[in-house]
Chains A and B, each alone.
Chain A
Amino acid sequence: MGALGAFLLAGCAVGAGLAGFLLQRSGLTAESLAALSSYAFACELYIFLFSSISSSISASLLYGLRSGALSATELESRFGGAAMVERRLSRMLSTGILQRSATSYSLTARGIGLMRAYRGCRGFFRRGTAGSL
């Protein structure tokens, strides 16, 4: 299970426990709803932060520069385009978005679903031309 799955599992269990406790103690009041919505917002913010840093090129660069200055050549070797693609492909293979045959990559059913959602968002928010899949 990935970090997101583990967090969701733990977060939902704690959230259900909190909801049960608050409803038993105070009923359906503004205080109970405020506590639950604050908890849900904190969880969403945490997921947003850790999913952002795990996929952000800027965050990777800042993280990589923590240990000291890096020359352009060192940056190229650590964060070169081919290495970045390899890492992304590896992650997408492990999460079941892509599948690999002997010499090629293709989308799984999950990847096709994700692509449709992405294109739906792109069409709604008018961030580009939504193609067909």
Chain B
Amino acid sequence: MILIAFGCYLSAHFLLYALLLRHRRFIATERGIFLYHFVPAASWATLLAAFSLASSSVSAADVLLVASLHGIYSLSFLELWALADGGYSLAIIDQLAGGRNVPERSALEPLAAMGTAKRRARLADLVRMGLVEERPEGYRLTPSGRTLAGLIWAIAKLSGVPMVA
């Protein structure tokens, strides 16, 4: 019963976005799309957890099942949404796709300028978020930046992803 209700909810959530909300400006922001997924997911998990404590008709397994299915749906949706925004690699492919056979030099120059601009923008974002600070000796990590960098190091080590140091 819970699964049927949850399946109907997921269908309605997707259709609402596909038919109506994707045309609205407020949902096109990172904050808007994140809240569109996070608020209902948190509401489902909280309500079901409360029901499972108050009644025997909802089990802990039901709560876990709904939370993880919502997690799979939302994470897949948000990954595709972020992909549509186009990362740096996609910008490179986009440029190459437009010109088919692009001479190496003419392909690299505008892309290198774009890369430098992106790196400067990201560094400014990291400073604004308090993860990196600018000192006379150069840019360095703040304590929270060091924690996040440690997490990135751990994931890179665990997965064998080569990182630029």
Interface range for B: 35 or more
Whether the Cβ atoms of A58 and B126 lie closer than 8 Å is: yes
Contact among A33, A69, A84 with B115 in the assembled complex (CB-CB below 8 Å):
A84
Bound-complex Cα distance A60 to B163 (A): 7
Instruction: Report the minimum CB–CB distance from B9 to chain A (whole Å).
Output: 16
Whether the Cβ atoms of A7 and B159 lie closer than 8 Å is: yes
Asked if A59 lies at the interface with its beta carbon under 8 angstroms from chain B, I say: yes
Whether the Cβ atoms of B165 and A88 lie closer than 8 Å is: no
Instruction: Report the minimum CB–CB distance from A60 to chain B (whole Å).
Output: 5
Bound-complex Cα distance A89 to B89 (A): 8
Whether the Cβ atoms of A69 and B137 lie closer than 8 Å is: yes
13 contacts between A and B (CB under 8 A): A7-B159, A54-B159, A57-B88, A66-B146, A66-B150, A69-B135, A75-B123, A75-B138, A82-B112, A82-B115, A106-B102, A118-B90, A127-B28
Whether the Cβ atoms of A107 and B139 lie closer than 8 Å is: no
Identify whether the interface residues of A are mostly helix, strand, loop, or mixed.
helix
Whether the Cβ atoms of B119 and A84 lie closer than 8 Å is: yes
Q: Which residues of B are interface residues toward A (Cβ below 8 A)?
A: 18, 22-23, 28, 59, 61-62, 64-65, 68-69, 71-72, 75-76, 79-81, 83-90, 92-94, 96-98, 100-104, 107-108, 111-119, 122-123, 125-126, 131-132, 135, 137-141, 145-146, 148-150, 152-153, 155-156, 158-165
Identify whether the interface residues of B are mostly helix, strand, loop, or mixed.
helix
Q: Which residues of A are interface residues toward B (Cβ below 8 A)?
A: 3, 7, 29-31, 33-34, 37-38, 40-41, 44-46, 48-50, 53-55, 57-72, 74-76, 78-82, 84-85, 87-89, 91-92, 97-98, 101, 103-107, 111-112, 114-115, 118, 121-122, 124-128, 131, 133
Whether the Cβ atoms of A79 and B161 lie closer than 8 Å is: no
Whether the Cβ atoms of B92 and A121 lie closer than 8 Å is: no
Instruction: Report the minimum CB–CB distance from B33 to chain A (whole Å).
Output: 9
Whether the Cβ atoms of A44 and B72 lie closer than 8 Å is: yes
Assuming the contacts A54-B161, A118-B90, asked whether A61 and B28 have C-beta atoms less than 8 A apart, the reply is: no
Whether the Cβ atoms of A62 and B83 lie closer than 8 Å is: no
